[in-house]
Structure 1
Amino acid sequence: MKTKIIIAAMLICAAGKLTAQENGVHQQSTVYEAPTDPLVKKKLDKWQDQKFGMIIHWGLYAVPGIIESWTLCSEDWIERDSTKTYDDYKKWYWGLSKAFNPVHFNPEQWAKAGKSAGMKYLVFTTKHHDGFAMFDTKESDFSIAKGPFAKDPKADVAKYVFDSFRKEGFMIGAYFSKPDWHSEYYWWSKYATPNRNNNYDIQKNPWRWNKFKGFAYNQLEELMTRYGGIDILWLDGGWVRPLETVNEEVRSWGAEIPKWSQDIDMPKIARMARKAQPGILMVDRTVHGPYENYQTPEQKIPDTQLDHPWESCMTLGGAWGFVPNDQYKPASEVIHKLVEIVAKGGSLLLGIGPDPDGTLPASVVTKLNEIGQWTSKNGKAIYNTRITKNYHSGQTWFTQSKDGKLRYAIYCRNVGEQPERTINWIGNSPKKGTVLKLVSTGQSLKWTVSNDKTTVELPANAGSAEAALSFEFTPAT
């Protein structure tokens, strides 16, 4: 009974942080360095065609339903049960490895739900900051394949997740946390763990840090060589970085920065990864330079259009992983965010958290199906598009085909807005004599232009229940 009370208390504490998690959110670096490798450039162009992806957080934290592994971190924004000592809490958390037994693990369900939503690429959490590997690593026994799920035919979870999404045509991304709070080479038990950083002076203990670098490298090599084709290596934990990359921008984010360099030798990791996976995209989040092939603003959309590759990673609900009774965004809100993000040059990576038993909550599947009802009819205005100089007019956002021959206008309806009989926008005028079509039906519509204002007449039944209406035309210029 006491255990149940403690878990309930932690859930209450965590719930207050689910919608914000400000101090756990990765900021967006403002410096971008374009790749030069032809294979990487080709892969990056293909990734920019996809526009809509799924990121899956699934690990020990799903068992009690708390916010990923952040409750292990002793920073002042983290709340835990006040009747439990920190050491006891860590023992309890690590002990969840003996309770995590997802006997209904169904990655095929996840992949089909993602495809139904119109998603095109996957980022799966192979290891979060707590160090619990969701793959069969030889470097540690702290893994899904070593606990009660070990005898299941699908115990090497990452393999079956990647295989299931490949079968549905997804590009494949492997999320990997650079920090590892379970490793004695990162959080040494000799010392306290005051924050997310490693807890000993690397300059005074180079042997220990070199052991950690080898540990991280070996796990990444396993992922790069044993799990089939990987398109994206999505590295989280941007505070693990060379000290020389910590500039004033990074300091302004507010996270505590140690006096030593947490350098894990990204050039070596990248060489290994690209030897095993030619052209793989390296996403070393917030560490600007040659290994951040696209930027990843978290839980937000940039204020203006960006001319380099990026994605907004956002949660469908209030948390990245599974939390009981989570509140999910309406399908219309997700669609509007997708439209805005694509018009600004980015992609939307939507966060989903499976249940501890290995299935997606029914409410998540329903939301994804609702989103898919729109993308299946309007995808032409989203996928394989690129930005236009004038990308926004009121409630209307604009994209164009990769060859620039076609323009798309996407009108986002306000919540509760009545069906319109006309749509107006400024700029992006159709070419004289062009046929303007409603993308969802292919129906030709009447339109006029006056003083750079385009007015489109809609039939009475023109997508009256849709969250957004998309139009296709040849632009005047």
Structure 2
Amino acid sequence: MTTTSPWQNRQRSDRAPVPLRHGSQVSKREDEAMQRFRRYGLGQFIHFGLYSILGNEYQGVSARDGAPASEWIRAWRGPSAPDGWTAIYDRLNEQFDPTELDARQWARQAKQLGARYVIFTTKHHDGFALWPTAHSDYSIANSPAAGRDLVAEVVDAYTAEGIDVFLYFSVLDWHHPGYSDQVPTDDAGRAAWQEFLSYTRGQLLELLDRYPAARGLWFDGTWGKAWIASHEFTYELERELRERRPGLIIGSRFRNDEHGARHFDSNGALLGDYEQGWERKLPADHAMLAGNDWDCVMTIGPNGWGWTRDTGDDYLKTTDDLIELLMRCRSMDGNLVINFGPDGAGRMTAHEGQIATELGAWVAAHAAAIHDAGHVDLDPTGMGWLTGTDDRIFLTVLNRPVTGIARLRFPGDAERVPTAARILDSGRELELRRTDLGLDLDDASYVDVRIPADLVTERAFVIELELGAPDAPARRREAARM
């Protein structure tokens, strides 16, 4: 049987396995690093680089009609693009000087947000490195910010706040002369591509050696045909990275097998430690994940990841939107990673600051339902999302029932059912009762929680249900005679 997700064919087949030399290298991990990953709950993504100087426009002209997104502005094409645009962009390193970037302040804000990990762009598609790499002149070392190492600043500041750091790295590199999207067809092209692969390997090993506190690598730009054809190289490079840093976490976006299968190899095995394909999208349900770890990276705006000077009439996700997304992810054992895009000076936006304050307050008050709580195997409620631990169930109520009753359905033979209920943040006790709806052919046990009419909340609230043995067995009923 084959299940299809919105972004990738996920093969779960009973047919004979395909012989693979470059398939998955890992099975599901249960080590401390991955146990920690599963408890993150909430993360922060930071997109920062040369594109942050521009904010998706140049000299007052918007790139909206010619570039896919603000961080892709170097790819600006069409009638609105300035003459000689690529050369103009490639000289932005001469202006790069984020004088107001204080990584300690960023980390304090992330702590306020409730983030347990951060993903930071060390090098995006333009090839500009935010650390003084020894493998390229196109780095912060050749800018007005020379002498700084932004990767080190972020790693040190976030680690000091107890927030784990993952390093984003784009394989796609518009600046390196050897990079190619297409498979080279002549000797010169093949030699240039080999130089690029050596450069990429060198930078990745350099990142691991320079920043030992970083816990994982988050890859982007791995869809090019030349990279896909380099499956032997990428297989060996993954092995080398893991040997270099035991416990390193690598997502499924890094490489493919020899048949070009990405994220999952041709036998359906995950090509990494967790599913990295949930970019601005979510699984339909928990079952389709087949037990894999995963996270969802999400923009606050509708599209771009880098700073945008003029958001126009773009809808910016609210705190309430992000609470819903967070709890939906947690209900399927996933993490939500919210993107922040500072401007060229290194300042987060006012809206991002508002999100950090408001969402952070909600997360702090409801942490028990987030970090150590995961999927609950109960029917969806329509009221919100369920998370739980061995002895607790948490119902995040986003759609408050007009009846004033929160009803949950448990199997009739459940060994543990709710025995007490309360509002999580205040501890207010709630009336709880077991309800027999008298539905024929339904052996379920229903539990009703009465929501007080005088309970007033500005945002979603969480009902905590304590589990214990049922006080009496479910009543047997005579089946209706037809």
* Paired residues for 1:46-195 under 5 Å: 46-66=36-56, 67-73=69-75, 80-82=78-80, 84-85=82-83, 88-151=84-147, 155-187=148-180
The answer for unaligned runs of 5 or more in structure 2 is 1-5, 13-23, 57-68, 254-261, 438-444, 471-482
Match of 2:272 in 1: 292
> Could you say which residue in structure 1 is the equivalent of 2:285?
304
2:434 corresponding residue in structure 1: 449
- Is the CA contact 1:240–1:263 (under 8 Å) kept in the aligned structure 2? no
Conserved? CA contact 2:100–2:346, under 8 Å: yes
In the alignment, structure 1 residue 359 sits paired with structure 2 residue 350: no
1:273 match: secondary structure: helix
| Higher CA-based Rg | 2
Q: Scaled by the length of structure 1, what TM-score is found?
A: 0.79
Distance 2:462 2:38 in 1: 22
Instruction: Tell me the CA shift for residue 391 of structure 1.
Output: 5.6
Report the Cα distance in structure 2 between the residues aligned to 1:70 and 1:317, rounded to whole angstroms.
15
* Cα separation, partners in 2 of 1:470 and 1:132, compared to 1, 3 Å: farther
CA-to-partner distance for each residue in 1:416-474, whole Å, 9 max, x for gaps?
Answer: x99x8443333488956722222112222111232343321234554511223232321
SS across alignment from 1:393: coil
Q: State the identity %.
A: 25
Preserved contact between residue 59 and residue 132 of structure 1 (Cα < 8 Å): yes
Q: What is the match of residue 379 of structure 1?
A: 367
Aligned partners of 1:133 and 1:144 also within 8 Å = yes
Q: How far apart in 1 are the matches of 2:293 and 2:28?
A: 15
Partner of 1:283: 251
Q: Deviations over 1:303-331 (max 9, x none)?
A: 11122111111102232111124352110
Please point out which of 27, 31, 45 is paired with 2:7.
27
Instruction: Give the AA of the match of 1:222.
Output: E
**CA separation of 1:476 and 1:313: change in aligned 2, threshold 3 A:** farther
Q: CA separation of 1:115/1:31 partners in 2, compared to 1, >3 Å: closer, same or farther?
A: farther
Q: How many Å apart are 1:83 and its aligned residue?
A: 5.5
- Determine whether 1:390 maps to 2:378: yes
Q: Please say which of residues 97-106 and 443-452 is displaced more in the overlay.
A: 443-452
Structure 2 length-normalised TM: 0.78
Contact 1:430 1:476 in 2 (8 A): yes
Tell me how large the CA RMSD over aligned residues is: 2.8
Distance in 2, matches of 1:111 and 1:28, equals 34
**Residue 144 of structure 1, CA deviation:** 2.1
User: Residue 394 of structure 1: CA displacement?
Assistant: 0.7
Distance 2:159 2:105 in 1: 13
Which residue is equivalent to 1:423?
Answer: 406
Letter paired with 1:160: E
Distance 1:352 1:432, change over 3 A: closer
Aligned-pair CA distance for 1:365: 1.0
Evaluate the alpha carbon distance shift between residue 80 and residue 164 of structure 1 in structure 2; reply closer, same or farther with a 3 A threshold.
farther
Matched, 1:331 2:319: yes
Aligned length: 412
Q: Which amino acid aligns with 2:26?
A: P
Q: Identify if the C-alpha distance between structure 1 residues 432 and 392 changes in structure 2 by more than 3 Å, giving closer, same or farther.
A: closer
Kindly report which structure 2 residues correspond to 1:244-323, keeping only aligned pairs within 5 A, or say none.
261-263=229-231, 265-285=233-253, 286-289=262-265, 291-296=271-276, 297-305=278-286, 306=289, 307-318=291-302, 319-323=304-308
Residue 105 of structure 1: SS of its match in structure 2?
coil
In structure 2, C-alpha distance between the alignment counterparts of 1:203 and 1:41, rounded to whole Å: 45
Shift of 1:291: 4.3
Inter-partner Cα distance in structure 2 for 1:202 and 1:116:
54
State the partner residue of 2:66.
none
